[in-house]
């Protein structure tokens, strides 16, 4: 029989209250607390907590606390990327952030999905789709990126935008839903 964690990792519907998943959530909660309450005077201790929490943190990447996630180990942050205050990365599926990415304050990357039909939703079934952020992307403050979205290299997403579909490389996109408004040459 396939475990709920295996179903989650395969992108299939799963029940989030599975004991193995709860244990992973608890682990992440402890590490987030350690990271989020680490003293600014101890950048190495803070980085150590972040490296233990996340799947990969590239060289010279920087994340400002507070930072929130589900599991942590599904998140990859590329080298020289910067994540500002109050980021929420719900990593039920993989979140991949390229090199030199700038993430503004209060940005949300949301991989979970929930059934539209009331019965399965009431029964607590959910699923997820990965999010991929290309190299040198800038996500403006308060931007929200939804499950299954990929954003191409060099793209700028305006503050407060809600990204519901893939965005190509080298564009500026704004609005809800986010739409490209100009090319970057």
Encode 3-30: b = buried (16+ Cβ within 10 Å), e = exposed: ebbebbeebebbeeeeeebeebbeebee
Q: Are 64 and 83 in contact (CB under 8 A)?
A: yes
Give bridge partners of residue 68 from the DSSP assignment: 88
Active site residue 114: yes
Q: Are 95 and 89 in contact (CB under 8 A)?
A: yes
Q: Are 67 and 97 in contact (CB under 8 A)?
A: no
Which burial class, exposed, middle or buried, applies to 39 when counting CB atoms under 10 A from its CB (0-12, 13-18, 19+)? exposed
Cα separation, 128 vs 13, in Å, equals 8
Spot the catalytic one: 114, 129, 159, 170. Answer: 114
Residue-by-residue DSSP string for 54-65: SSEE-TT-EEPS
Give the active site residues.
Answer: 114
């Amino acid at each position: 029989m396939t475990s709920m964690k295996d179903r989650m990792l395969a992108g299939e519907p799963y029940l989030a209250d599975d004991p193995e998943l709860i244990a992973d959530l608890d682990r992440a909660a402890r590490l987030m607390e350690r990271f989020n309450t680490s003293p600014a005077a101890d950048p190495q201790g803070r980085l150590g907590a972040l490296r233990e929490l996340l799947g990969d943190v590239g060289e010279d990447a920087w994340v400002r606390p507070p930072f929130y996630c589900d599991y942590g180990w599904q998140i990859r942050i590329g080298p020289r990327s910067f994540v500002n205050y109050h980021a929420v990365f719900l990593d039920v599926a993989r979140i991949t952030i390229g090199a030199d990415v700038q993430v503004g304050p209060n940005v949300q990357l949301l991989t979970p999905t929930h059934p539209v039909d009331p019965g399965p939703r009431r029964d607590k079934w959910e699923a997820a789709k990965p999010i991929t952020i290309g190299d040198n992307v800038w996500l403006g403050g308060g931007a929200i990126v939804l499950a299954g979205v990929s954003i191409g290299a060099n793209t700028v997403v305006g503050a407060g935008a809600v990204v519901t579909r893939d965005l190509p490389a080298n564009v500026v996109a704004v609005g809800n839903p986010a739409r490209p408004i100009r090319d970057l040459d």
